[in-house]
């Protein structure tokens, strides 16, 4: 009996046949799954089994993304904080500027003619600087001869007397503060009408009221205003408020100290009163004598003055 040797290569169905078979099987499977959902359970089971593999495969990429987001968010927050800090500084500066402007506006309104308690004739002046001499309390103002400023004109603010113009230039003038030594203002006490002379002490911004007897009726808190008898300051300008009264019977005069009511060192704008000062009353002249009465008078008898 003749036996054939086994083939060296096992030959199955041809590739074309296998391709056709698997293609038909795939088409049938898709139709069954689409129409009847036959592979739904298989799909769910495979997704559960593949889920850990998917998480393990996506973990490095997710960690890298989260790390990049963290550093990006950190840098963004730093930039935003810096921008906010700059905004806070800008708003703080704007707020301070607004408060300054509001204070200056209120100060200017207090010196404006409709709201001023004093005369309406005057010009506003800006304080350019303090005097060049550090030992003399003076202000340099931006008004001069071109604005009609003359030496001796009072300088006030919204609260009261600041000082007096003592030197005038073409475009600027110099005002000596009320608290400067030897600056004197005739004043009157509003409570009882007592007249006195207020003199700058030249130290610590205070005002002295000298040569007042110990029995004088002056109390702490009393207000002094200009009396107007000097012809320089109009009557009724607020000058100072009494802060200390020392009465010692061992001395002839009381020691009275006051603080100026005006902000002599506080504001940037003042007002120079340019109103005409009252003319001095002329001294009475002796009346001319009638020649006929002189002849009729007995000799040696002087004429009685009226």
| Residue 219 pLDDT > 50 | yes
Name the CA radius of gyration of the chain, rounded: 51
The residue ranges of every structural domain in the chain are 21-111, 122-273
| Residue 304 pLDDT > 50 | no
| Residue 119 pLDDT > 70 | no
pLDDT tens-place string over residues 37-81? 777 777 778 777 878 888 888 888 778 878 777 777 888 888 888
Strand locations in 95-202 (E) = 122-130, 138-141, 154-156, 161-168, 173-177, 184-189, 195-200
Q: CA dihedral defined by 86, 87, 92, 97, rounded to 10 degrees? A: 110
Local confidence band at 27 (pLDDT 50, 70, 90 cut-offs) = confident
Q: How far apart are CA 43 and CA 283, in angstroms?
A: 127
Q: How open is the CA angle 289-292-298, to the nearest 5 degrees?
A: 90
Q: Within 10 Å of residue 152's Cβ, how many Cβ atoms? A: 13
CA distances to 124, 165, 172 from 145, rounded to whole Å, are 14, 12, 8
Spatial CB neighbours of 126, under 8 Å, sequence gap ≥ 6: 141, 142, 268, 269
Spatial CA neighbour of 162 closest among 140, 141, 144, 179: 179
Q: For residue 292, what pLDDT is reported?
A: 57
**pTM of the predicted structure, to 2 decimals:** 0.56
Q: How far apart are CA 303 and CA 306, in angstroms?
A: 9
Q: For residue 306, what pLDDT is reported?
A: 42
What CATH number was assigned to the domain covering residues 122-273? 2.40.10.340
| Residue 257 pLDDT > 70 | yes
Stretch 230-259: mean pLDDT: 88
pLDDT tens-place string over residues 69-94? 777 788 888 888 888 888 888 888 78
Which is more confident, 161 or 288? Answer: 161
pLDDT tens-place string over residues 169-184? 999 999 989 888 878 9
The answer to which of 97-111, 143-157, 286-300 has the lowest mean pLDDT is 286-300
The three-class DSSP label of residue 42 is helix
Q: What are phi and psi of 64, to 5 degrees?
A: -65, -40
Local confidence band at 297 (pLDDT 50, 70, 90 cut-offs) = low
Spatial CA neighbour of 147 closest among 131, 161, 126, 129: 126
């Amino acid at each position: 009996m003749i036996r054939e040797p086994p083939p060296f290569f096992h030959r199955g169905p041809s590739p074309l046949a296998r391709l056709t078979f698997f293609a038909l099987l795939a088409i049938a499977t898709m139709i069954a799954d689409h129409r009847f959902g036959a592979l739904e359970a298989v799909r769910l089971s495979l997704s559960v089994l593949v889920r850990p593999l998917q998480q393990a495969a996506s973990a490095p990429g997710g960690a890298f993304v989260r790390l990049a987001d963290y550093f990006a968010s950190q840098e963004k927050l730093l930039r935003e904080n810096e921008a906010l800090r700059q905004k806070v500084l800008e708003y703080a500066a704007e707020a301070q500027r607004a408060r300054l402007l509001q204070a200056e506006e209120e100060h200017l309104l207090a010196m404006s003619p409709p709201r001023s308690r004093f005369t309406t004739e005057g010009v506003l002046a800006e304080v350019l600087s303090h005097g060049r001499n550090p030992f003399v309390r003076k202000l340099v103002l931006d008004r001069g001869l071109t604005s009609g400023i003359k030496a001796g004109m009072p300088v006030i603010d919204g609260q009261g007397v600041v000082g007096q113009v003592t030197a005038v230039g073409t475009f600027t003038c110099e005002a000596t503060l009320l608290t400067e030594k030897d600056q004197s203002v005739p004043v009157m006490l509003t409570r009882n009408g007592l007249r006195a002379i207020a003199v700058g002490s030249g130290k610590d911004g205070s005002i002295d009221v000298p040569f007042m007897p110990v029995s004088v009726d002056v109390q702490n808190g009393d207000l002094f205003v200009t009396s107007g008898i000097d012809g320089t300051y109009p009557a009724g300008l607020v000058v100072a408020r009494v802060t200390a009264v020392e009465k010692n019977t061992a001395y002839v005069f009381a020691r009275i100290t006051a603080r100026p009511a005006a902000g002599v060192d506080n504001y940037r704008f003042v007002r120079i009163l340019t109103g005409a000062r009252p003319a001095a009353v002329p001294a009475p002249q002796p009346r001319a004598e009638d020649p006929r009465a002189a002849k009729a008078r007995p000799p040696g008898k002087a004429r009685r003055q009226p």
